[in-house]
Amino acid sequence: MSKTNTRFKILLFFFIFSIGLIASFVTIDIFYFSNQLKKTLIKNAVEKIEEREEYLSSYFESTQKKLKSIRKSKYFRSYLSNKLIYQDDVKDMFRIIARNDKNIMQFRYIDVNGFERIRVDRKELGSEVLLVKDEILQNKSSRYYFKDSKNKNLEQVWFSNLDVNIENGKVEKPYKPVLRAILPVKNNNQFDGIIIINYFMKNILTKLAKTPFYDLVLANDKGFPLIHYNNAYSWGYYKKEPYSIKNCFPQDYNKIITHKNMESSTLVSKRLNIPTPEKLIMILQLKKTYLAKQKIEKLNEYALISFIIFILAVIMSLFFSKFIQNILDHLTNTKRSNKRLKHRVKQKNIELQLTNDELKELNENLELRVQKEIEKNNEKEKQLFAQSKMAAMGDMIGNIAHQWRQPLSVISTIASGIKMQYKFDQLKIETLPSQMGEIVDRTQYLSQTIDTFRNFLKEKKEFQEIILQESIHDSLEIVGTTLKNHQIKIQKNFDDENPIKIFTISSELIQVIINILNNSKDVLIEKNVDNAWVKIELIEDGQHTTLTIEDNGGGVPEDIILRIFEPYFTTKHKSQGTGLGLHMSYNIVTESLNGEIYVQNSENGAKFFIILPLNKKINE
């Protein structure tokens, strides 16, 4: 009984699911597809209006060209000079042009006094062209198109409004849409009449009105329809009760009349750029019959899809009900198994807790081991620093020896000379003061050298404001003699007149500069470079200052350039270098001075960059 109820519930579920699926599909399709179709048609309507506007514009342009060509023809020019002799030629020309254009209703020349001189008629659209006899030609001087032409620009075509044909003061029925194209002509720089063509506009307007998806309305700027998709409302102004587009578009009427372009959810309108006195407005509205047809087709589609979904739901419910029943039975058995498994998991959790306690104890021991390793690494770093200082001390002793050698040699020479002169009774008392003065000068130089090294070694390791140029000069005081003795020129490319002030540890910065200068010196001596030099430059950017030291020793090999700041890494023999100088320089700049240091190969050799914060005090 229980299984039967379950299968019934499954059948009911698939039935409700199919109803929900059908409802969702219909709702989505109505709100998305229907709206999307309307949006697409409205967007397309704008293009359709522009196509029709272009079609009308081309018709007006071809008419202008036709009238101007007639005016420029030799027959008509000769006719204006002598109307009697050339009248037949112009009549033949008018008749031939009218035969070739079946939309021409009348083709006339009206003289300066308003009398018809030449007239070609076509009674109905497509009928034969007739030349009107001279004796029945009429006086048109009172007609508006003749009067207006006198005030128009001569030799410029203008057009009448698009209207219906009026004969003997009455509107001709059925309505015959017509358009007049008029060219005022001049002779001897004076008005001499008009060439006028009356066009049947039925074919052109019928072609405009053909739209499979839209209802088209062509109205004038006063709101009266000239063409209406319901022919009963075409030429609404001439109805017994004048009909306005306000009757069929009450919501959008004001926007249609006042706006050049207007677009809503159901229609599009545009004021056409056509050279008629009354501006024309074209309106395209989604065709109600088309929309109704689409609605019926969609309803049929919904019914068919709903039927298919329902049948599939029934088949699926019958097919899967037994399968789902087995799954439910399996789930019931699984639930029982889960209860047993839960108990086993609980026991395992207790065991895991014990294991976690053991791991925690191991982690605590591990932290102690890590701390000890850190202390060992710190001790090694201190040893590296001590070794670096010893190496620096060795370099400085060498520099002291270089700076002392020449003064000591001078003192020794003077003393030996005095001794020899005294021994051989050749000592001259008058030269003795100058010789003693020379010895005093040399000993004072030796004393200054000792003071320079003592200040470097005893300076407190704390941040203070210094002038960067002075630190560079202090560095050169220490190593300058050594570089000079090896014929290495120093190029200082910075301005002493504009001191750069920074907060830093002067002695450590001097040590870095000395290390790099010694490194350049060793390379230049090892490679025996001709015209050896070291260039020092300063660059300031507002936030940092960059000190560069470049030599012409050929650079660092690319395969080791990334390793030169590593401890104990050196390309020299063990007796010449420890590999600690550049490593300690890297640590001093990045850790103590809060700056950056790196090296690149230039066109000449290695170029070291030391970047330090500018005018910013940094806590030690």
Could you write out the DSSP letters of every residue in 341-409? HHHHHHHHHHHHHHHHHHHHHHHHHHHHHHHHHHHHHHHHHHHHHHHHHHHHHHHHHHHHHHHHHHHHH
pTM of the model: 0.47
Q: Supply the pLDDT for residue 394.
A: 57
- What are the tokens at 360? 């925690």
Going by pLDDT thresholds of 50, 70 and 90, the confidence category of residue 24 is confident
Residue 549 has pLDDT above 80, yes or no: yes
* Distance between start and end Cα atoms, the chain: 86
Q: Supply the pLDDT for residue 576.
A: 45
Could you write out the DSSP letters of every residue in 39-103? HHHHHHHHHHHHHHHHHHHHHHHHHHHHHHHHHHSHHHHHHHH-TTTSHHHHHHHHHHHHHH-TT
Token pair 């410029």: residue: 156
- pLDDT above 90 covers what percent of the chain? 39
Q: Three-class SS of residue 487?
A: coil
Please compute, for residue 444, the number of CA atoms within 13 A of its CA located in the half-sphere on the CB side.
6
Going by pLDDT thresholds of 50, 70 and 90, the confidence category of residue 179 is very high
Closest by CA to 392, choosing from 475, 515, 483, is 515
Residue 445 has pLDDT above 60, yes or no: no
Sign of CA dihedral 257, 262, 267, 268: positive
Residue 543 has pLDDT above 70, yes or no: yes
Token pair 């300031």: residue: 540
Q: Cα dihedral angle (18, 21, 25, 28), rounded to 10 degrees?
A: 150
8-state DSSP, 252? T
Highest averaged pLDDT of the listed ranges 94-103, 454-463, 476-485: 94-103
Give residue-wise pLDDT tens across range 387-431.
Answer: 555 555 555 565 565 556 556 765 777 777 787 777 777 777 877
Q: Three-class SS of residue 522?
A: helix
Residue 545 has pLDDT above 90, yes or no: yes
149 vs 183: CA distance, rounded Å: 8
Residue 226 has pLDDT above 70, yes or no: yes
Closest by CA to 585, choosing from 521, 532, 511, 528, is 511
Choice among 128-137, 169-178, 464-473 with the minimum mean pLDDT = 169-178
Closest by CA to 117, choosing from 147, 79, 155, is 79
Q: Which burial class, exposed, middle or buried, applies to 91 when counting CB atoms under 10 A from its CB (0-12, 13-18, 19+)?
A: buried
**φ, ψ at 98 (rounded to 5°):** -65, -35
Q: Supply the pLDDT for residue 614.
A: 80
Q: What is the mean pLDDT of residues 358-380?
A: 69
193 vs 114: CA distance, rounded Å: 7
Could you write out the DSSP letters of every residue in 291-320? HHHHHHHHHHHHHHHHHHHHHHHHHHHHHH
- What are the tokens at 88? 């037949």
Q: Supply the pLDDT for residue 224.
A: 93
Give residue-wise pLDDT tens across range 492-531.
Answer: 999 888 899 998 888 888 888 988 998 899 899 999 999 9
Q: Supply the pLDDT for residue 391.
A: 54
Q: Supply the pLDDT for residue 191.
A: 94
Could you write out the DSSP letters of every residue in 20-46? HHHHHHHHHIIIIIIHHHHHHHHHHHH
- Domains of the chain, CATH where assigned: 73-205 (3.30.450.20), 462-613 (3.30.565.10)
Residue 574 has pLDDT above 50, yes or no: no
Going by pLDDT thresholds of 50, 70 and 90, the confidence category of residue 542 is confident
Q: What is the mean pLDDT of residues 175-179?
A: 91
539 vs 352: CA distance, rounded Å: 63
- What are the tokens at 11? 């059948």
* Contact by Cβ (8 Å): 106, 119: yes
Ramachandran category for residue 579: left, alpha or beta (phi over 0 → left; psi -120 to 50 → alpha): left
8-state DSSP, 153? P
Going by pLDDT thresholds of 50, 70 and 90, the confidence category of residue 453 is low
Please compute, for residue 516, the number of CA atoms within 13 A of its CA located in the half-sphere on the CB side.
29
Choice among 310-314, 334-338, 573-577 with the minimum mean pLDDT = 573-577
140 vs 414: CA distance, rounded Å: 137
- pLDDT above 70 covers what percent of the chain? 76
Give residue-wise pLDDT tens across range 117-152.
Answer: 999 999 888 889 999 999 999 999 999 999 999 999
Q: Cα dihedral angle (474, 476, 482, 487), rounded to 10 degrees?
A: -160
Tell me the pLDDT of the chain averaged across its residues: 81
